[in-house]
Chains A and B, each alone.
Chain A
Amino acid sequence: MKPPPFAYFRPGTLDEAIAILGRTENAKVLAGGQSLMAMLNLRYVFPDALVDINDLFELSGIEIAPERIRIGAMTRQRRIELDAELYEAMPIFRDALKLVGHRQTRNRGTIGGSLCHLDPASELPTLALLLDAGIETAGPAGVRRIPVGEFITGYMMPGIGPDEIVTAIEFAPWSVAHGHAFHEFARRHGDFAVASAAVMVERDRQGVVTRCAIAIGGIGSVPQRHGAGETALTGSDGGPDAIAAALESCAGLDILGDFHGGPDYRLSVARTMLRRSLTAALARASERTQQA
């Protein structure tokens, strides 16, 4: 189908964009458009105006510092996927991005757009949650930095005001010896996941897990941290018993059924993805710790 009519604005500065949002009723921000344009074509949404932020070049770029990595909201997914320095510091981004849509959609799709769309099955919100990222926004009241846990307020509901724009995501990199993995199951390559599991771990030279983060996407109304699983792993030897405990406690997550299958099915898929991700991440952490 074709989109409904709307007014179109393409501001040249962030201030102008915020001002337009402030004075326009029922306006939507157009970033990469890889979800919004499809929703417009299907007439799922009827905005009165689109504010196209593709000319806000200052919102695009990747800055890597030892304590902090910052990715501008308008950075295209494909650029993040291919960035060599980011791959060096946080290789999980490339693993996750390979699962986001297809090359044609990653060429235009942005990280900020993905975060604001907040599909529970999409990879970038799950990754932001995994990394305890801060989401930076700009609005009439100035700049805010929202912890990702507060940004994710509900099913496809980002915690930002109608006149605020997400400008960047920031997070602290993990040690060079960390292990990572991002596994998901989707019906077809590039589709939204039935379940996904993202894992980061650090181990000491004896193999003891010193730090662990787990995020599960796809199964509930929002991506979720798997706190019980993190507790099971942290301080353990990362062996089969610890992994089994982490898988067992997945039952405590919020799980919804859908046309792919009921909650039992999705729980079982989530466990399989988590087993794969934990196994891979633990092995990588051991390898890198030995090399370091």
Chain B
Amino acid sequence: MLGNFFLRKRMNFLAYFGLLIIIAFVAGVITEYDPVKGFTSIPKAIVWGFTNFYPNVESFEKLPDILQKIRETLLVSVAATVTGGAFAFLFAIFGAHTTRFNVFLGVISRGIAIVFRNIDFSAWAMILLFSFGQNVMTGYFALFFGSFGFLTRAFMETIDEVSGGPVEALKATGAGYFSIVFKSVVPSTMPQMISWVLFAIETNIRQATLVGILTGTGIGFAFDLYYKSLNYHAASLVVVVIVIAILLIEWLSNYVRRVIL
């Protein structure tokens, strides 16, 4: 009996593993991807990077331009995340089990959040390109929708996790809905919510670069421009600036987190 049980487990594992290998092989054949060639091209790519893709003295002339672009990207990311967070807060209050005052409304807000969360930033950017064109608003809304969906989910879980007890207690005292939200849900969840917003800002800055390439705005546009005009030195400077900006933001948000938590 017991021997059979473990034998079956092992057979199952082998079957899944074999299936995985077959799928990978078939996919490779269909796409004509040669794994050997793929891996052997890595060293070549590294060599190319070291010989071409580094900032030189001339590229630093572009620095003021690049800095202005990254400022634009940073501001758009922060603005999109913060406004997305404000809307997410409302939807999370309506959707969280602890604080929803109507089951129907709760299901609706959860549904909306799920839709927004499962459409990726880049997909939003493409969709919005049609309505806004290559415009800074396109980038803003793409980031806004993405972070709205993500933060609604995060906020809902924070509310249900942290404020169940206090909400029950205040309900039992006869407190009204708004008193309960402002006196127990807000103070008990605020630090975690701020932490989520900071996290969303960090990811949004990374996404903004990509979205910028699509929408022709901000730092993504600068990179795209230099890269396509074969100015690899300036393009690499853009990458360096992005990395420094992201590190700075991460350091800053970790500092804020330490203070508030």
A and B: real partners? no
Tell me the B residues contacting A by CB distance below 8 Å. none
